[in-house]
């Protein structure tokens, strides 16, 4: 039946899209103003929201409480991001720790943009200054970067004899270079036997993996095929819902001697609702050889995926996914053809590092 792929795709899109706006609660804890620690789950959101509020529910409870920065001292996701309430220029936010120890480096995304902050012992909490942009002088446009942040860091970390070489590498404040500089500072000034770094943010790049097996069919023929392979997902800790997906798969013929190797190049979005994780990916499948007879002179096919994961262990999920391929001519704007070529259903194991 030729309408089967379209009907199935419509059902998947209709069922999954509303789920993407759902909360993403992860294990963590809050520390109250009285310094009591309460464990539960915290809604994992983007950096702008996390700086403004914390949605928390206690263990074995469905009641969600909304905490503002003035309501609690701090909160933390287990094994991951750590936020503390601080006041700056008359407003209170949840600042994210990048590193906590003899010196502290913080990050905040607010309505004013992305900024980094610093304090140390009795040194006042302050923003690390930095500006860049375009200036015009005598009808000439040029790019500028300020260096005030280097002077500030150099002054407050002068007890490190090698601070000059460390600071000059921070040409523009960012997560990676600030964490690296602060870590090296601790190694230089910390006395042997002391635990000077209390917390350090994890690497900004997170990698997930997946193994799968399935079967599919070419839309306008009787050719059926099996498919197996693996996928790799690269995520940024700044927004773990989006990932770059690639990997390697192979199609082998069931009804005909048809085969081919392929590489997915896609962007995936994955939400999380407790143990259930709906996901969708869009991009292309690139083929090295084989199957090209179905795609004309092209060796790639636009691809749309929709599916879900079911958590069975802390870092392990069962996965189910559908893959729809379309005519490459969908990218030719003169005679665009949104023509389905094949559909594939597969199941597998998805390995996800909890953050």
Q: Give the pLDDT confidence of 59-85 residue by residue, as tens digits.
A: 888 899 999 999 999 999 987 899 999
More confident residue, 259 or 95: 95
CA dihedral (129, 131, 136, 137) positive or negative? positive
HSE of 333, CA atoms in CB hemisphere, 13 A:
0
Tens of pLDDT, residue by residue over 193-241, are 677 888 888 766 788 999 999 998 887 777 888 999 999 999 876 677 8
- Report the pLDDT value the prediction gives residue 330, as an integer from 0 to 100: 58
- Collapsed DSSP state (helix, strand, coil) of residue 349: strand
Tens of pLDDT, residue by residue over 119-152, are 988 788 999 999 988 888 877 888 889 999 999 9
| 215 falls within a domain | yes
Counting residues of the chain whose pLDDT is more than 90, the rounded percentage is: 47
| 340 falls within a domain | yes
What is the rounded (10 degree) CA torsion for 199, 167, 161, 182? 0
Domain housing 326: 4-20+204-351
Mean pLDDT, range 41-47, rounded to an integer:
88
Q: The domain spanning residue 309 has which CATH number?
A: 2.40.160.20
- Report the pLDDT value the prediction gives residue 111, as an integer from 0 to 100: 84
Tens of pLDDT, residue by residue over 237-256, are 667 788 999 999 998 876 66
Q: CB-based contacts of 117: which residues, under 8 Å, 6+ apart? A: 86, 88, 95, 105, 106, 107, 108, 125, 126, 127, 128
| 66 falls within a domain | no
| 309 falls within a domain | yes
Between CA 198 and CA 99 the distance in angstroms is 8
CB under 8 Å, gap of 24 or more: what pairs does 238-247 form?
A: 238/47, 238/204, 239/46, 239/47, 240/44, 240/206, 240/355, 241/24, 241/269, 241/270, 241/271, 242/267, 242/268, 242/269, 243/208, 243/267, 243/268, 243/270, 244/268, 245/281, 245/283, 247/210
> How many helices (H) and strands (E) would you count in the chain?
5, 21
CB 284 within 8 A of CB 307: no
The number of distinct structural domains making up the chain is 1
| 224 falls within a domain | yes
pLDDT at 318 over 80: yes
| 72 falls within a domain | no
To which H or E segment does residue 301 belong?
A: strand 300-311
Between CA 191 and CA 196 the distance in angstroms is 8
Angle at 306 between CA 346 and CA 334, to 5 degrees: 115
| 98 falls within a domain | no
Between CA 218 and CA 254 the distance in angstroms is 12
| 307 falls within a domain | yes
- Beta strand 65-67 with 54-58: parallel, antiparallel or unpaired? antiparallel
Question: pTM of the full predicted structure?
Answer: 0.65
CB 123 within 8 A of CB 102: no
To which H or E segment does residue 218 belong?
A: strand 205-218
- Report the pLDDT value the prediction gives residue 241, as an integer from 0 to 100: 83
The overall average pLDDT reported for the chain is: 84
């Amino acid at each position: 039946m030729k309408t089967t792929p379209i009907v199935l795709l419509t059902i998947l899109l209709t069922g999954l899209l509303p789920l993407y706006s759902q909360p993403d609660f992860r294990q963590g804890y809050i520390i109250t103003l009285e310094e009591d620690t309460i464990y539960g789950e915290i809604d994992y959101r983007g950096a702008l929201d996390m700086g403004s509020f914390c949605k928390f529910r206690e263990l074995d409870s469905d009641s969600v409480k909304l905490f503002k920065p003035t309501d609690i001292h701090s909160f933390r996701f287990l094994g991951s991001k750590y936020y503390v309430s601080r006041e700056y220029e008359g407003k209170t936010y949840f600042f994210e720790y990048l590193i906590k120890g003899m010196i502290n480096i913080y990050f905040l995304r607010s309505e004013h943009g992305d900024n980094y902050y610093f304090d140390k012992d009795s040194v006042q909490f302050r923003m690390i200054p930095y500006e860049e942009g375009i200036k015009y002088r005598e009808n000439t446009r040029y790019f500028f970067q300020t260096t005030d942040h280097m002077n500030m860091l150099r002054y407050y970390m002068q007890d490190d004899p090698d601070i000059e070489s460390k600071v000059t590498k921070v040409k523009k404040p960012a997560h990676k270079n600030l964490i690296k500089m602060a870590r090296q500072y601790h190694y230089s000034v910390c006395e042997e036997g002391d635990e000077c770094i209390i917390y350090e943010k994890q690497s900004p790049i997170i990698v997930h993996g997946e193994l799968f097996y399935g079967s599919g069919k070419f839309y306008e023929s009787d050719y059926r095929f099996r498919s197996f392979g693996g996928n790799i997902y690269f995520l940024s800790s700044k927004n773990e819902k989006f990932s770059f997906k690639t990997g390697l798969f192979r199609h082998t013929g069931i009804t005909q001697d048809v085969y081919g190797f392929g590489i997915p190049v896609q962007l995936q979005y994955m939400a999380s609702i407790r143990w259930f994780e709906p996901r969708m990916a869009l991009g292309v499948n690139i083929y090295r050889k084989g199957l090209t007879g179905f795609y004309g002179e092209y060796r790639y096919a636009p691809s749309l995926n929709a599916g879900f994961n079911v958590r069975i262990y802390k870092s392990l999920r069962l996965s189910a996914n559908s893959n729809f391929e379309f005519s490459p001519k969908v990218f030719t704007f003169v005679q665009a053809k949104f023509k389905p070529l094949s559909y594939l259903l597969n199941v597998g194991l998805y390995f996800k590092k909890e953050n």
